[in-house]
Amino acid sequence: MGTVAPSPVIRDVERSAVKKVARRLVPFVALMFFVNFLDRTAVSFAEPNGMGDDLGLSAAQFGLASGVFFIGYILLEVPSNMALHRFGARRWLARIMVTWGIVSLLFTWVQSTGQLYGLRFLLGVAEAGFFPGAILYLSQWVPARHRTKILALFYLAQPLTTVIGAPLAGLLINQHGAFFGLDGWRFMFLGVSIPAILLGVIAWFYLIDRPADAKWLTREEKDWLTAELARENGTKTDGAKAASGHGGRGALKAAFTNGRVWALSLVYFGFIYGLYALAFFLPTIISGFEEQYGTHFSVLDKGLITAIPYLPAAIALFFWSRHATRHGTRAWHVAGPAAVGGISIPLALYMGSPSATIAVITVTACSIFAALPTFWSLPSQFLTGAAAAAGIALINTMGNVAGFAASYITGWLKDFSGSYYLPLFVVGGFMLLSAVLMLWLSTRPLPQAADAEQELITTGH
Distance (Å, whole) CA 88 – CA 96: 12
Q: What would the pLDDT profile of 382-402 be if each residue is shown by its tens digit?
A: 666 667 777 877 888 889 899
Report yes or no: 33 and 152 within 8 Å, Cβ to Cβ: no
Strand, coil or helix: what is 210? coil
Greater confidence (12 vs 205) lies with 205
- The ranges assigned to domains in the chain are 26-207+234-459
Q: What would the pLDDT profile of 290-312 be if each residue is shown by its tens digit?
A: 888 888 888 888 889 999 999 99
Instruction: Kindly tell me if the per-residue pLDDT of 376 is higher than 90.
Output: no
Distance (Å, whole) CA 39 – CA 1: 50
Query: Distance between alpha carbon 456 and the CA centroid of its chain, in Å?
Result: 21
Q: List helix spans (H) across 328-443.
A: 332-344, 354-376, 385-417, 421-442
Q: Residue 362: what pLDDT?
A: 96
Instruction: Kindly tell me if the per-residue pLDDT of 73 is higher than 50.
Output: yes
Report yes or no: 388 and 380 within 8 Å, Cβ to Cβ: yes
Lowest mean pLDDT of 178-192, 267-281, 440-454, name the range: 440-454
Q: What is the mean pLDDT of residues 147-171?
A: 88
Q: Residue 243: what pLDDT?
A: 43
Which CATH architecture is the domain 26-207+234-459 placed in? Up-down Bundle (1.20)
Phi-psi region of 351 (alpha: psi -120 to 50; beta: other; left: phi over 0): beta
Report yes or no: 135 and 373 within 8 Å, Cβ to Cβ: no
Q: Residue 249: what pLDDT?
A: 64
Percent of the chain at pLDDT > 90 equals 50
Q: Residue 27: what pLDDT?
A: 94
Q: Residue 302: what pLDDT?
A: 87
Confidence of residue 460 (pLDDT cuts 50, 70, 90): very low
Instruction: Kindly tell me if the per-residue pLDDT of 109 is higher than 70.
Output: yes
The residues, any chain, with a CB within 8 Å of residue 299's CB and separated by 6 or more, are 49, 170, 173, 174, 184
Greater confidence (366 vs 446) lies with 366
Q: Residue 382: what pLDDT?
A: 65
Distance (Å, whole) CA 47 – CA 43: 6
Phi/psi for 296 (5° steps) reads -100, 135
Lowest mean pLDDT of 78-92, 298-312, 339-353, name the range: 78-92
Residue 147: what residue type? R
Please, what is the average pLDDT of the chain? 85
pTM: 0.78
Instruction: Kindly tell me if the per-residue pLDDT of 50 is higher than 60.
Output: yes
Query: Distance between alpha carbon 324 and the CA centroid of its chain, in Å?
Result: 19
Instruction: Kindly tell me if the per-residue pLDDT of 191 is higher than 60.
Output: yes
Report yes or no: 338 and 438 within 8 Å, Cβ to Cβ: yes
Strand, coil or helix: what is 378? coil
Closest CA to 308 of 343, 360, 267: 360
Return the half-sphere exposure (C-beta side, CA atoms, 13 A cut-off) of residue 347.
12
The residues, any chain, with a CB within 8 Å of residue 231's CB and separated by 6 or more, are none
Q: Residue 391: what pLDDT?
A: 80
Q: What is the mean pLDDT of residues 48-71?
A: 94
